[in-house]
Amino acid sequence: MTLGSLLLLTFVFKDIYAMAGIIWLTLLSLVKDTGVEEEMKNIYIYMIPDSSAKKLFYTMLIPFLKAGMIIVLPLVSLLIFFDPSFFLWLNVTLVLFSFLLVFFVGNLLAIRWLKDRNNLLTKGLLRYMVMLTACVPILLILGGMYILNPPLLENITLIASVLIICNVLTASIGGYFCLDLLNGNGLYSE
């Protein structure tokens, strides 16, 4: 799904929650095509005399900004034309960016764990399994909130805060395991 079709769907659905779900599914399917693996195959990255964390940050910056445009542009058009509350719009935008972090880290973990990159089925399956497994803590926390006190789930601010905190923590933990990916020629090493 391209950015133009997302902008068109903004006018079809006119609901911020429906658009958030569509953008989430789009991010899940497009995060593999952001060019991270191609960027990591370039030899100039490994020549930069700096820590592997900075190399990873600079490698991920442009693909992350490209994918961030998929989040921002449809939601900005929704904000301009259909006027949801700004606080709700900000919550949805931050939650989608936190999911984008998790998806990028899941993509990096899949690249790191795959030794045979010629099998596209295995690569795609592992990539999606890692990204969906990263969402398990969120489901456990929201399920626990529902069991303990169901009226808590009516508070969208609380749910957004829980989602953002869980996603950032999951991305940080996964990112820690990816720090040595660009130490040497990490894409081809064991």
Residue range 2-45, pLDDT digits in tens:
666 776 776 777 778 888 888 888 887 777 666 777 777 777 77
Q: What are the residues whose beta carbons fall under 8 Å from the beta carbon of 95, sequence distance 6 or more?
A: 20, 160, 163, 164, 167
Number of domains in the chain: 1
Classify residue 81: in a domain, yes or no: yes
* Res. 116: pLDDT tops 70: no
A 10 A CB-CB count for 76 gives 14
* Res. 80: pLDDT tops 80: yes
Classify residue 187: in a domain, yes or no: no
Classify residue 188: in a domain, yes or no: no
Classify residue 38: in a domain, yes or no: yes
Give me the helices (H) in the chain, please: 3-13, 16-30, 36-41, 44-47, 52-82, 86-113, 120-133, 136-148, 156-177
Residue-number span of the structural domain to which 113 is assigned: 3-182
